[in-house]
Structure 1
């Protein structure tokens, strides 16, 4: 099985390894599963998640593929790059989720980007339970040396506190 290149994907180490690119409202925090007005996760081994506030909260990791042990030759063969993320809302407040993953060259210029439409979860029309998003990059050309993974969101009611989207189980893997 390919190893997850994201460090601290579930908040077990608080915010360690994550760069907070937007930290609005009451800022990011880590909570225990399932949390207030929350949902159980699909995997009992995942016990924590990151949660956002009433203003936009985004966090990012930049993966240096050469530092992770991949050779230029391996990367130039364009191995499949798999991305996975899990997100959910609360049962009492709507939220917005967003994700952007970029394959970058040695100068950190974008080779290929995955930015799905933002997702709005509304407890009046959706159960807001944990949902998975996946994407596989392929045939992107040679030159990939870094991967940028950024996700987050906020709540839709502008309630003070941590009523925004919850994220956990993030992963980036490479098939050699």
Structure 2
């Protein structure tokens, strides 16, 4: 089984290893499952999540594949790269969620990008339970050396505090 290349995918180490791209409102924070007006995750191994605020909160991690032990030759064979993320909203406030994952070459220039449409969760029409997004890259060409994983969002009512989207269980795997 391929290993998760993201460090601190669920906030066990607070914000360690994540670059804060946008840290608006009350800023990012880590909370324990299920949190106020939240849902259990369903995996006992995941006990925390990242919570966003009333202004945009985006964080990123860039994985250096060569530093992680992959040879340029193996990477030029275009192995499958699978990304996964879990997100949910609160049952009392709407939120938005977004994800952008880019495969990058040695100069960190984009080879391929996965960027699904922004999701809006509304507790009046959605149960706001944990949802998974997953994508597998293939046939993206030679030159892969880095992977940029960026996600986040905010609440839709601009309430002071941490009422925005919650994210956890993020992963990036390379299948050789």
Deviation for aligned residue 1:44: 1.1
Query: Separation in 2 of the partners of 1:45 and 1:6?
Result: 16
Query: Separation in 1 of the partners of 2:160 and 2:29?
Result: 13
Length, aligned pairs only: 176
Q: CA RMSD in A?
A: 0.3
Q: Runs (4+) of structure 1 moved beyond 6 Å?
A: none
Q: Does 1:110 align with 2:110?
A: yes
- TM-score for both structures, normalised by structure 1: 1.00
Q: Does 1:168 align with 2:168?
A: yes
**Cα deviation 1:129-166 (Å, max 9, x = unaligned):** 00000000000000000000000000000000000000
Alignment of structure 1 residues 2-151 onto 2, 5 Å:
2-151=2-151
Query: Separation in 1 of the partners of 2:137 and 2:163?
Result: 32
Deviation for aligned residue 1:45: 1.1
Gapped runs of 5+ residues in structure 2? none
Deviation for aligned residue 1:37: 0.3
**Cα deviation 1:93-124 (Å, max 9, x = unaligned):** 00000000000000000000000000000000
